[in-house]
Structure 1
Amino acid sequence: MRNEQLQEIMNEYDIREPEITFIRHNENRTYKVVGHDGSAYLMRIHQPLKEGMAGQQHTYDGLLGELQMLEHLSGWDHLLVQRPMRNRKGEMITIIEHEGKRWNSSVLTWLEGRDLQKDDVSDPVLVEKLGACIAELHKFYGSYEQEGLDKRPSQGLAYNLYMIEVIKQGLAKDLFTSSDVSIIEETISLVNARLVDSGNVEAWGLIHGDLSLGNIIMTSDGELSFIDFGFFGPGYHYTDVAMGAMMVPSQLRDTYLKGYYGNDHTGQHKLVLLEGFMLLAIIGYYVFQMENESVYAWMRERMPKLCADFCTPYLSGARIFYSV
């Protein structure tokens, strides 16, 4: 994308003489922008690298839902997040034309800091803080009322069934064996059955939906900030809790759960459900990358290990929370 076109976008936000630096192109094209006064921003062109990566989060209404939520969350005192900018028309989305198509673009304030690293989560104090921060996010979501959530990605029972169908496409692509696909189907079906049996109404709400070390910023004073809310939408809180647990070493996972749940975190019922959501999170990565040929070799190599080391023991009733 030409620098002149990027500058035109920033002009819509009255950001003059911008210095624009390309970051990456994955789910979106992203750029760091520094204005003439030194203020920094994140510009996003919501054009996924592969067509198969496109989803509701890229549509105008879907993106608007994310930005409206972020605008409210940025005014909440308990968590530090990026704030969406409004253009000259007072809108949070600027539509552009590129390569003969129309794309949505948005601008967020910049967060100074660095991605959370593996070494960081060896600190028990930080691990407990991570759990507490996810709990604070869910607390905000519990009080947040917004229309149009049907335009956002939803990670519920129906999405889990959809994942089964996508994984089956791996057979035609010669990525997975039929036995491994069957194991994945049994695993997802068991998770769904346990959710239905237990009800878990209290665990359904809004979630980040894509927590990872790369989607958490640690500031210079040690604060944690969540970024990349592209999968924000309805889902089970277990999704975020499980994703957080997988960032943390096995010996600190109880500390992490204490941060999220408080002292009431040792119930086997919760652990069984969290184990299932850990596996769903891993399977979800395969689903998201199904059209990305650059990771096919990795997928072929890793799927048998996922099934043998984790899914099969899970199906047999073994505890895997501390080993995934």
Structure 2
Amino acid sequence: MLRSYDIDVRRMRLVQYEDNAVYFVEGSSGKDPGETALYMLRISVRDGRSPAEQNSELDWMAALVADKAVTVPAPVATRSSGKVVTVEEPGWPEPATAVVFEWIPGRASPPYGRPRVAGELGAITARLHEHASGFRPPAGFVRPSWGHADVFENGAAMTDPTARDRLREDERRTLREVCAAVRERLPEQSAADWGVIHADLHRGNLVGTPDGTVAVIDFDDCGWGFYMLDVATVLSSVLRTCRKEPGAYDRFAEGYLDGYRSVRELPPAAARFDEFLVMRDMIILNFVLGSRNAAVLSWGPQRAQGILRLMQNYLKTGEYDGHLSLAS
């Protein structure tokens, strides 16, 4: 696959394999063969995004790089100036697609308790949304939607036979009731609330770089959605990490939201924050229940049970784990 790129590969190693296979690549570029260059190769081999969807993902990332909105991995063009390579490899049952990015060095999941980290992550989220609000997609731009119907009614937990078989009848009933409750409480889509979002902005996709900035990686799920879904995703991921430390989540949330507001006001939909926490966990539930990946299935069932318990409590109280009283 890398023959399509102007890269002389010296070594590569697998970093992650869930939906995609992600490799760290060390080599040099044809432009400067004497200098070591670092890249990330992402290969989609099963149920991945289409080439058109991946091209659109890279269009937004390239715009973020060009506009210096936030630090993101810069897409690397092929020898023919394309962005997505489609190839057939011996032993693979279907064509695979590959994209290459410049590698961003640093540490994923910046420590939530370190001074200024919360505010910086909030400001980065806001800058991402500020850019999205003015982004004019090029012709042929196609990305998934993360609205209510996409996440709940048409998600794997409600439609995939494999996923449904992993649930008891009372659990399926819980999901139907949660689906109806969130549908009733979510606001209408509006320009102030809805645009292109990252859609998987958990701590692991935020990288503290050696120069002291924070980069955003892994735009594979980016698409149309409520800006508050990104906010809920960050805060939910921090909550899972710090819940045993009294007061840590509230302190982080306060700093994070202050950082966001330093760039732009919270979207009006912030008033329904609990529903976005539920939506985030429903996305995880869809991923886990619909997965056939052995690594996911090693941790997924326990995570799914925890989410279902939280959803049952949400139906009783109207509040979800990580609840905050927010207003725009």
Q: Could you state the TM-score of these two structures normalised by the residue count of structure 2? A: 0.82
Distance apart, 1:262 and its partner CA: 4.4
For the residues of structure 1 that align with 2:25 and 2:306, how far apart are their CA atoms? Answer: 42
Amino acid across the alignment from 1:306: I
Cα pair 1:74 1:80 within 8 Å, conserved: yes
Matched residue, 1:261: 261
- DSSP 3-state at the match of 1:105: strand
Measured in 2, the distance between the counterparts of 1:41 and 1:82 equals: 9
Q: Distance in 2 between matches of 1:145 and 1:199?
A: 18
What residue is the counterpart of 2:315 in the other structure? 315
| C-alpha spacing 1:67/1:76, structure 2 compared with 1 (3 Å) | same
Alignment map for 1:93-242 (pairs within 5 Å): 93-98=84-89, 99=92, 101-117=94-110, 120-147=111-138, 151-159=142-150, 160-163=152-155, 166=158, 169=161, 172-173=164-165, 175-196=166-187, 200-242=190-232
- In structure 1, stretches of 5+ residues that fail to align are 1-8, 49-53
Query: What is the TM-score of this pair, normalised by structure 1?
Result: 0.82
* Structure-2 residue corresponding to 1:246: 236
Deviation at 1:206, TM superposition (A): 0.8
Residues 2-151 of structure 1 aligned to structure 2 (within 5 Å)? 9-36=1-28, 37-48=35-46, 54-55=47-48, 58-98=49-89, 99=92, 101-117=94-110, 120-147=111-138, 151=142
Deviation of 1:72 (Å) = 1.2
Per the TM alignment, residue 304 of structure 1 is displaced from its structure 2 partner at its CA by: 4.5
Over residues 54-77 of structure 1, what are the superposed CA-to-partner deviations in whole Å (9 max), with x where a residue is unaligned?
25xx21101110111111111122
What is the rounded CA distance, in whole Å, between the counterparts of 1:171 and 1:43 in structure 2?
30
**Pair 105,298 (structure 1): closer, same or farther in 2 beyond 3 Å:** closer
Cα distance in 1 for residues equivalent to 2:71 and 2:269: 32
Residues in 1 aligned to 2:17 and 2:39: alpha-carbon distance in whole angstroms: 17
For the structure 1 residues 243 and 101, does the alpha-carbon distance in structure 2 shift closer, same or farther, using more than 3 Å as the test? same
Q: 1:168 to 1:69 in 2, by over 3 A?
A: closer
Q: Deviations over 1:151-186 (max 9, x none)?
A: 31110122032127537746752x322222222222
Q: Secondary structure of 1:311's match? A: helix
Change (3 A) 1:321 1:296: closer
- Secondary structure of 2:307's aligned partner: helix
Deviation track 1:274-313 (CA, whole Å, cap 9, x = no partner) reads 21111221121121122336455755544444333x3233
1:104-131: CA deviation from partner (whole Å, max 9, x where unpaired)? 21111110112115xx111351111111
Q: Distance in 1 between matches of 2:223 and 2:120?
A: 23
The 3 A distance-change label for structure 1 pair 228 and 78 is same
Q: 1:263 to 1:317 in 2, by over 3 A?
A: farther
Distance across 1 between alignment mates of 2:13 and 2:293:
27
The root-mean-square deviation of aligned C-alpha atoms, in Å, is: 2.9
- Structure-2 residue corresponding to 1:285: 284
Instruction: Read off the aligned partner of 2:21 and give its amino acid letter.
Output: R
Deviates more, 1:163-172 or 1:221-230: 163-172
Instruction: Give 1:34 shift.
Output: 1.5
Look up the match of 2:241.
Answer: none
Identity percentage of aligned residues: 23
User: Secondary structure at 1:132's aligned position in 2?
Assistant: helix
- The separation in 1 between residues aligned to 2:126 and 2:204, in whole angstroms, is 19
Question: Where does structure 2 lack aligned partners over 5 or more consecutive residues?
Answer: 29-34, 239-247
Counterparts of 1:256 and 1:11 in 2: how far apart (Å)? 43
Deviations 1:198-225 (A, max 9, x none): 5555211110011112211111233111
Contact 1:171/1:177 (CA < 8 Å) preserved in 2? no
Contact 1:82 1:111 in 2 (8 A): yes
Structure 1 residue identity aligned to 2:216: F
Instruction: Give CA-to-partner distance per residue, 1:122-155, whole Å, 9 cap, x none.
Output: 1351111111100000111111111467731110
- The amino acid that maps onto 1:312 is Q
Aligned to 2:244: none
- Opposite residue 287 of structure 1, the aligned amino acid is N
Letter in 2 for 1:234: W
Relative to its length, the structure with more helix (as a share) is: 1
Distance in 1 between the 2:264 and 2:144 partners? Answer: 30
Amino acid at match of 1:128: G
